[in-house]
Every structure is written in C-alpha cells, then in structure tokens.
Structure 1
C-alpha cells in the first residue's frame, strides 16, 4: 500500500493498519501513512481481517493469523507447496496476485502486467547504462556516431516496454516473439519485427505455448546472426510458475562484439541466457551478462504505486460497501471469475486446481479434502 491510496480503502469503510517501516524502501515514511488515515501498528496482523503484502507471509506468520483471515500477495504456488499447506491448515483464505485471470474486466487488477511494465523499462535503462557507447545517432562536426543496435527477445508487457524505452533513447531496435500477434505489436513500438521461418506458438492467457527442443534449436540457429550483430540483447521471455525458456546459448553470446551487453530479465526464474546469474553481472566472451533479480524492486516507487492500485481494485471487488453503521465487510463472491481464479486456499481447502492436484501427487496431507 502507498499513502495516497489509503483513502480509497477507508472510503470503503475499512480500517487500514500498516506495519512500522513498511513503506520505507519506497520512500514512504510512517508519518505519511498516519497522515493519510492509516494506523501504524506493529501488531496489525493479530487482528487483521485481510492482510496484503508483496511477498507472501512465511509459515510462522501465517500461524499467527486468525482462522478466516484473508491474504493477498504474490504467491508462487508451484515452488512453495509448503506455504500453500500452511495457509490451508490455518484456515486462511489466500489470493495470489499472479493468478488474476487475464481478461478485460481484470486489467486494472493485473499485478503481473503492472510489474512487468516496471521491469521492461528497467531492463532498457540497465542496458543503456552498461553499454559504453551512445544509444542514439549523433551527427557532429567531428563525425557521425551510429546508433546502437538493440535486440529484444519476448514481446509481452515487459518486452514491449523495453522496446519502447530503447527506441525513445534512440537505439535501432529489433525484436522477436514466438506469437504471431506480437509482430504487429513490435512494429507499433517503432521496432523491426524479426520474422523467422518457424511455426508460431500461440498459448492461453497471452502466453506462448512451450516449444519442442527441435524447434528451440532451430530458433537459436536463426536468431544467432541477429544477436551477433547486436550491441545489446534484452531477453524477457517468462511464464509465471514455470522455468524460463533457454533462448540464448553460451556460444551465441560469444559471437557478440566487444563491449556487448546482455540483460536477462528472467534470470531469477531459470534464465533465457545460458550462464546468466540472478543479481550478478558475469562476463562471457566479449559480453557482460546482467541477471535480473526481483527487478521491479529496483524501482520501488512506481512499482509500489502500481501494485497498490492493483490491490485496491481487487479489494474493492471483494468488499461489500459500508452499511448504515459505516462498517465495510470483506465478502468475496466465489462465483466471480476473478475471485475464483485468484483464490488458492479457502475454508481449509486448496481451491486452485493445479496446486491441489500437485499436492495430491505428493501424497495425502492433513486437511486434504476427500
């Protein structure tokens, strides 16, 4: 939550409590929250009806919640089954921000897209900062400096923002995505769409389907000359809950020229680039490879504001307006597609079907519904 949006929640009739120093990393001191109408309370969790956070509460904090409490955060269900079990057994209703359906009605609640916007911008800025040359064309009395050549792989929200930012900085940008619809989106950003003689891989929810190893190998072969000619390569291909696809091999990076830069946004989910390390810059051949690690947090101000607005919109959907006594009620309608799609646990059950199936494959656990 950010101070400027506290009033949206109090306007619904809710009371807002914030843990001390919760906003410090985004430059929001406790005094701003208090001035906006929130209570700064170190024991807020004990009496909360709804707990909102960026990362999920750890199991020891979940154990301190009252049965029936709701949580809303990012919740990596595929990699944290232990946490899902803890939430279920504590009778907590848990909503995962990344599971909000990607439908038109839910666009204002789509935290994945808002954070990808921040990440894509940051990637382009990182590439510009690491490059030891100008991005734009410069024509001077001393001669002409040609523009930098930037290649972007992946044209989802993050990729398109990286393209737009690199273009605004003056680079010549080329981009590729396995989805057929992406080519027109790339061109709309002023970049050249790289078109390969390969089948497209349209998936659901705006994501691409997984590709076979044969197709992946052919794609790498066809992309190699584009990458070799690039001054900067930015990779943004990722699917929540799954390992990022390997798009660029060590040998492809080694064909890049002196001073080349590679920015791998997906490094903390497996990486698109062989050899990338989340949170570090490593050298491969002539190139520096920057591995992204929790990239939105590197721009905490805008990331927090956008995420807080997503949270407010979700809570508004799930809150019954204040009654005559001025009290609001958190009353999610589980017949609503957005509510049902984003719910992981409720009333002692795992409601997210893929997670429930995965837990059952691991064997029965206490509280597993018959």
Structure 2
C-alpha cells in the first residue's frame, strides 16, 4: 500500500500577510484524496480560522518543526524561508506564490536544498487551469477592495442622490487597465453608483468594458501594444501609442474624481501611467488607488502602504491588497491550491503527478538546480 503524502501548512511570516494557504474546507478535500494534513498552530488566526477548526476538519495541529517533519508537500501563500523547511523529505514540493524575480535568492536556496519549487503565479492562462490561477482569484478581490478603500477615502458620496436639500452628482471613476482586477473595479464602482470609464492597451477589452456598463476610453487609429503577451497579459506599448495614450488620459483624468490603476507586466517594473503633471490637473479631493504599488506603481509618487497627498490628490497604494480581505482571499487561494493538487492526484502513486504543460510552466527547481527558462541565463 502506498503511504499517504503529508501536506504541511506553515504560518505565513511575511510582514502584513494575513492569508493562509489551507482552510478547513480544503483540508477535508485533501484528506479525501488520501493525504494527511499538518497545520502550524495559529496559521489561520489572521483569517479568522481557529486551530480547533482545523482539528475538527481532520488535520493535525502543532509547532513548525513537527508540522514540517517528513512533509512531502508544503503549501504557502508566499514562499517560506528555507530555514523553516529542514526536515522535509528530499525532493519535496513547495507550492505557493514564490515571487521568483523578487525572491531569487530564496529560489536558489530551495534548489540547493533539493526541493522542487512550484510557482503558482506562473500557472498558464489556459482553460483547464483557470480554477488553479492564484493571480486571477486574488486580483479579483484586489480590484474590489481598491474601489472600497478609494470610496472610503473620497470625501463625497459615490452615487447621485436627489434630496430635498438638492442633488449630489455621481462620482466619476476611471479604471486604467482592464484585466481581472480592473473588471472587478469597474463592476464594484458601478454597483456603488459611480459614472465609470475605463481604458486598456488591448483593444479586445472594449467589449468587456461596455458589457459592464462603463464607457471605454481608447486611442483610435494608432497601433497599440507590440503584441499581447503570453496568457493574455499586456506587453509594453509602442512609443507612438504611449504618446497618444498620454494625451488622451491627460484630457480625461482631469475630469475624474477616482482613478484606479491596475497595469502590471509580469517580471517587469509596473508601467508609469500617471505623471505628476496629470495628478496636478485633477480636482483637489480626488483619489487615486494604485494597485501596482508592489511593483513600483503606475503613478508618479506612489509609496506602498502610505497615503501620499500631491496637489490636493490622495494617492493610495498597498503592498498586499488581497491581505486586507483575509478570510475570502484565503478561501479562494486555498481552493486554487486544492484544485491544482486534485487535478493531478494519482491514486496509484499516492500523490500528484504533473504533466509537462502545467508542470513545465510552474516548476522552478528540480534535482538540485534551477530549471525554469525564465530564471536561466
């Protein structure tokens, strides 16, 4: 009989990280596959999950050393420090958001320890992997939270209100970048009653913007991005497009009350979308929420985890927006990890066996070395 795989979940130790990579729901499902689960005490506390909730679900709860001892697979929201992994089985898997470009030294340490690091943010954007995509699930919540925090910071109401004392005009909200986060930001701002407009360098998003009841703001008759990136991500814009886009945005942004920026290019600094001069053109009391703050920001002057005021405009940027919705973010993240493991679970092998399409896309280390092409050379 094949021994069950031990799956370990450690408490997240990164500053400001409130999420956890397994919930009682996913613990039960992983146990049903034939795995055993060990959870570090306190791992779910920030996400309102008590140790007893894990015990009731069937997991063992203990200190970090006992949890990691003999583990075949370690799940994480962020990659654990290599020193915490002593005692894992040789060739064990680390399944988490690993930030391969920002945490290269950590990835090298995983390789030196003989561990197999699987970066969930490298999950390919293909149909069968949608339920495993941590970037989409977390970006969806980030887009929602950005609008809520912007609305809370904005000193006026979002919807139009007609009262006996007079009429309050609806806030004007402009979303820049229409990926998963941008689409959710549009939907949330619309639900709150704002007049919403949006833009993106990918012309295909125009229909998506219209479908949500927002107004598309697009450069016409100018070549856009040099090519849509792998998996539907945007790549860098042509110089001609950047110039035309900058002029269009400058004219539009001056009339906006709320701006949400969401543009990211995987593995690169966030593109600059809003300059200091454009901020100065906005009305005092306006708010910008920069969802790209962790990668340098789309807005000139963004400082992660601070509210910066420039020209009477407040600029907000969090280093980890999904962590401000810990319960829901954890639930979705944990389901992504379960969906990944269950899709490849082989009963005869007693654990997951990856195929080349997905395994090759997310595997960073194997056999004591770096193997992912994006980290080589």
Map 1:106-125 onto structure 2 (within 5 A).
106-125=129-148
Is this contact kept in 2: 1:135–1:148, CA < 8 A?
Answer: yes
Residue segments in structure 2 that go unaligned for 5+ positions in a row: 1-21
| Structure 1 equivalent of residue 324 of structure 2 | 298
| Structure 1 equivalent of residue 34 of structure 2 | 13
| Structure 1 equivalent of residue 164 of structure 2 | 141
Matches of 1:44 and 1:241, distance apart in 2: 33
Return the match for 1:30 from 34, 51, 68: 51
Is this contact kept in 1: 2:294–2:304, CA < 8 A?
Answer: yes
* CA apart distance, 1:208: 1.0
| Structure 2 equivalent of residue 315 of structure 1 | 341
Matches of 2:114 and 2:358, distance apart in 1: 21
What is the TM-score normalised by the length of structure 1? 0.92
Is this contact kept in 2: 1:115–1:307, CA < 8 A?
Answer: yes
1:350 aligns with 2:374: no
| Structure 2 equivalent of residue 44 of structure 1 | 67
Is this contact kept in 2: 1:23–1:30, CA < 8 A?
Answer: yes
Is this contact kept in 1: 2:342–2:352, CA < 8 A?
Answer: no
1:200 aligns with 2:224: yes
Aligned residues: 351
| Structure 2 equivalent of residue 183 of structure 1 | 206
* CA apart distance, 1:89: 1.2
Is this contact kept in 1: 2:223–2:238, CA < 8 A?
Answer: no
Map 1:98-247 onto structure 2 (within 5 A).
98-197=121-220, 198-201=222-225, 202-247=228-273
CA RMSD of aligned residues (A): 1.4
Moved over 4 A (4+): none
* CA apart distance, 1:64: 4.5
Deviations 1:40-78 (A, max 9, x none): 021211211100010101132245433111110001111
Matches of 1:112 and 1:331, distance apart in 2: 22
1:274 aligns with 2:271: no
Matches of 2:326 and 2:167, distance apart in 1: 38
* CA apart distance, 1:216: 2.4
Deviations 1:73-102 (A, max 9, x none): 001111222112111111101111101110
* CA apart distance, 1:214: 5.0
